[in-house]
């Protein structure tokens, strides 16, 4: 089943079960996807948002909520931090399993070999290869530093 279909099914199930918080989070995901589609309408190659882009949007949503939860915890607003963490849980249900450190290292080694990267200048090629294959499965902010360390 496609990710978009899984989201719609989960949305309907949350409505039927009257799960208010889950429903709210699923609606936020759908709104973010629709916003991206609206932004693409103005471009020459107007198209529907694909699964890799949906994973990217959802990954960004998780990061935003992690930052918000951290800020709320530091500010002593634990109830708001818990709400953010609950939203993260709902979003992560639809994301692929995150890769372990060993799997990330192996993927980087494979991408370096595949692209023929030899210096730090080839970092973009390696990152593009990783993003094409592992979107939603790793944190590319952290992976960028690992790639630079390996090539540098």
Domain with residue 147: its CATH number is 1.10.10
For 83, the enclosing helix (H) or strand (E) is: helix 78-92
Per-residue DSSP letter, 50: P
Identify the pLDDT of residue 45: 67
Q: Is 88 helix (H, G, I), strand (E, B) or coil?
A: helix
Same domain, 39 and 72: yes
Per-residue DSSP letter, 92: H
Same domain, 72 and 145: no
19: domain CATH number is 1.10.1510.10
pLDDT classification of 116: cutoffs 50, 70, 90: confident
The answer to which of 42-56, 69-83, 87-101 has the lowest mean pLDDT is: 42-56
Write b or e for each residue in 2-41: b if 16 or more Cβ atoms lie within 10 A of its Cβ, otherwise e.
ebbeebeebbeebeeeeeeebbebbeebeebbeeeeeeee
Answer for the pair 46, 78: CB distance below 8 angstroms, yes or no.
Answer: no
**Which comes out higher in pLDDT, residue 25 or 142?**
25
Same domain, 88 and 105: no
For 109, the domain range is 101-151
In whole angstroms, give the CA distance from residue 109 to residue 105. Answer: 6
End residue of a domain, out of 69, 92, 115: 92
Considering its fold, how many domains does the chain have in total?
2
Identify the pLDDT of residue 10: 95
Per-residue DSSP letter, 2: -
Instruction: Name the percent of the chain lying above pLDDT 90.
Output: 43
């Amino acid at each position: 089943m496609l990710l978009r279909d899984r989201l719609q099914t989960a949305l309907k199930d949350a409505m039927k079960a009257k799960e208010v918080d889950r429903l709210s989070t699923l609606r936020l995901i759908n709104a973010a996807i629709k916003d991206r589609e609206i932004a693409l309408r103005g471009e020459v190659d107007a198209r529907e948002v694909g699964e890799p882009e949906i994973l990217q949007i959802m990954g960004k949503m998780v990061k935003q909520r992690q930052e918000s939860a951290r800020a709320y915890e530091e500010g002593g607003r634990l109830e708001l931090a818990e709400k953010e963490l609950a939203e993260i849980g709902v979003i992560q249900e639809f994301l692929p399993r995150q890769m372990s450190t060993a799997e990330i290292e192996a993927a980087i080694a494979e991408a370096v070999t595949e692209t023929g990267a030899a210096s730090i200048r080839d970092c973009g090629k390696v990152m593009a290869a990783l993003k094409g294959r592992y979107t939603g499965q790793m944190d590319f902010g952290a992976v960028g530093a690992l790639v630079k360390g390996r090539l540098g």
